[in-house]
Chains A and B, each alone.
Chain A
Amino acid sequence: MGGTREARETAAGGRTRLVSGPGMLVVWLYGVMSVGAASRSVYEITAKFDQAPLAYSLSAVAALVYVFITYTLVRGGETARRAALVCCAAELAGVLVVGTWTLLEPSAFPDSTVWSEFGYGYVFIPVLLPLTGIWWLRRSRAA
């Protein structure tokens, strides 16, 4: 498997492929989180935005970040890799800030967000995924 990797990585028009090997699993998880967070925030914002505007806005931001990272991973290439790396770092910072915020000031959040309590409602995937993403993106740096 290791021998064919280099050949596959540059197969798509010279761009570094980011969805080969472990990248396939990473992009699947980002895809799931994108669909989950996006559909959740569309529903929450259209149906009951007044109940917890802060929480629902933060969920929408999370959804945008996930969709963008999924897109850059699928697109591939060095620019996309750098953009995804920046977004993974922003995502990690977001999870940590929102996670701490929800613990320190629960009254500001009548309803939970995707990143509440470091992603407890999503089996902590929100806090683990950016770490996995950063690991994968650093590993697939263009040689």
Chain B
Amino acid sequence: MLDALTVAVCVAALALAAWCGFAAYRDQPTKDWHFIGMAVVTLLVLAQLIVGIVQLARGEKAEEGTTIFVAYLLGALCAVPVAGFMSLAERSRWGSATVAAGAVVLAVLEVRLHDIWTVG
């Protein structure tokens, strides 16, 4: 369940990055549809946070330790919303570029999360 969510978030984040990167390329600020996209990605990350905490509560262990695992889950949850608020303050292509960068950061965090959770 957690692995599937991690892959889903990673793919969704990369799609969001490409979408907002394209908006930046076309010299456009973020629009309502972009914010819906950010909300979808954020909901996926929220689901991942809940599933992760439930699995820890059931007694499963993260390979690199609970502290790091929870810290990364929280960091992943913040990445896209914070970038989204910054794009509201910067109504130009650079706001879109910031969201794209935020989504790339999220994708990287997901790869790290996978390493942190999985043995090996």
Contact = CB atoms under 8 A, between A and B. Distances in A.
Interface residues of A, number: 19
B108 interface: yes
B113 to A, nearest CB: 14
B83 A21 contact: no
Contacts of A25: 94, 97-98, 101
A20 interface: yes
28 contacts: A1-B27, A19-B89, A19-B90, A20-B90, A21-B90, A21-B92, A21-B94, A22-B94, A22-B97, A23-B94, A24-B86, A24-B87, A24-B89, A24-B90, A24-B94, A25-B98, A28-B83, A28-B98, A28-B101, A29-B101, A31-B82, A32-B105, A35-B75, A36-B75, A39-B71, A43-B67, A43-B68, A47-B67
Interface of B: 27, 67-68, 71, 75, 79, 82-83, 86-87, 89-90, 92-95, 97-98, 101-102, 105, 108
